[in-house]
Structure 1
Amino acid sequence: MAFIKKNYGWIIVTILAIMPMFILSAMVKIDTTNGFVFTLVENGGKEGMSTLEMLYHITGEFSIRWMTAVLTCTPFFILFGIHNLFVRQAMGIATAVWSLLHFVIFIWAEGFSETFTQFNYIAGFIAVLILIPLLFTSNRKWMKKLKRTWKKLQSLAYLAIILSLLHVAILEKTWMVYAIIIGIGFFIRIPVIKEKIIALRTKQVKL
């Protein structure tokens, strides 16, 4: 119980990140007769999409959602005073895992060489490369080992989200929703705005 109480935020994020995986698993068959051979379920897609297109769409959607969630952690703290660094780390891990899965499916569908044929593909590829070191250093061990450098490394997440938005913006219009949320978050981070919000929140708590 003590472990759950201490790590409940991490556990909740992990469960939320894993749950959509069950949707993906229903679209893939694994043949173990001749090793592990992955095949797609026929007509597994919706809205006129093939199964592979649906897999690609779902993984991309969840990767950008988790990335947006990570960048709203600091504004959330400014607004409500609730801060949990390890929950943010869990969200970062979810972002990297879903992004890598999205990239793997893209390679499966189009081939690795296709990555360099369009600007939006290149932007997405660079974002994934940035997320890889963030994935492996999002833990207490690396925080202690890297110390101040850890925060500088994690700040690369901002570049990754910009590249991801460019990647999504060229493909579809839903990027506007994420851009607005992130934009509001950066507005709240402005020192003058941030100080006023914290001062107002602190005053209300005292009352």
Structure 2
Amino acid sequence: MVVANKNSVVKYRRYIKVFVFLLALLPLLQLFLGVLQNSLGPDPAKALSHMSGEWALRFLIITMAITPLRIITRSSEWIHYRRMMGLFVFFYAVLHLLIYCVFLLGLQWQDLWADILERPYITVGFGAWLLLLPLAVTSTKRWQRKLGRQWSRLHKLIYIVSALVLLHIIWQARSDLAEPLVYVLIFSVLMLFRLPIVKRAFNTRSKKTAAVHKH
């Protein structure tokens, strides 16, 4: 009976993963439709760059939200979707960089290096992209077994990535800081759930709730 229930959960989770995967591809479809319908405004290349970067940021938020959701709901089910969300962060970040290099710079690599060296928001953005590379490569269970405890330490780079991404959007925004500050607030809240004192508070509340229900 237990085996049957476990198999049904795995099957159900597989369907959910397929559904989530297809949902995560919708922004890509939106980009393609924008190009085909010529509905991206007077500067399509800039619009594509902005949209792809924004979706990379949104998937980063979703990935960072997995731990808080697990703590709040007391369910480990969320963990099964974290790798997929993290890979979509990398996917849209790669797309963002490609659009920037191909459409905005025309594959002029000397211009790319000049931007990296001279524009701080490009510097930190490229730095965030570089740090995402080892996280994407080592996201498999094989790498997790191979690296052991070092795997968790390596994947804490996501916190540095988040900080660099925030600097990227703040420095790019220049004077209009309303939207970047919203993202700073969101990431600050998500980081609070990583603090041991917050984790202990939720664990204590969970134990008290369980004790009440038991009686």
TM class by shorter chain equals 0.7 to 0.9
Aligned equivalent of 2:169: 168
Name the residue aligned to 1:15: 22
**Alignment gaps of 5+ in structure 2:** 1-6
SS of 1:26's equivalent in the other structure is helix
1:200 CA displacement? 0.8
1:132 lines up with 2:133 in the alignment: yes
Flag structure 1 segments of 5+ consecutive residues without an equivalent: 30-40
Write out per-residue CA displacement over residues 32-89 of structure 1, whole angstroms, 9 at most, x where no aligned residue: xxxxxxxxx6x4314xx51111101110100111111111211221211122333111
Counterpart of 2:3 in structure 1 is none
Shift in Å at residue 180 of structure 1? 0.9
User: How far 1:9 moved relative to its partner?
Assistant: 4.6
Residue 197 of structure 2 aligns with which residue?
192
Match of 1:95 among 61, 82, 89: 89
Aligned match for 1:178, one of 176, 179, 183: 183
Please name the residue that 2:64 is paired with: 71
Question: Which of 33, 36, 45 pairs up with 2:40?
Answer: 45
Give the corresponding residue for 1:85: 79
SS at match of 1:169: helix
Which protein is bigger by CA-based radius of gyration? 2
- CA distance in 2 between counterparts of 1:95 and 1:202 reads 35
TM-score, normalisation: structure 1: 0.84
1:105 is matched with: 99
Give the one of 30, 33, 50 matched to 1:57.
Answer: 50
| Aligned-pair Cα RMSD in Å | 2.1
Count of residues paired in the alignment: 193
- What percentage of residue pairs aligned between the two structures are identical? 26
AA partner of residue 54 (structure 2): E
For residues 158 and 72 of structure 2, what CA distance do their matches in structure 1 show?
A: 21
Is the deviation greater in 140-149 or in 51-60?
A: 140-149
Q: Out of 104-113 and 123-132, give the one that drifted further.
A: 104-113
TM superposition score normalised by structure 2: 0.81
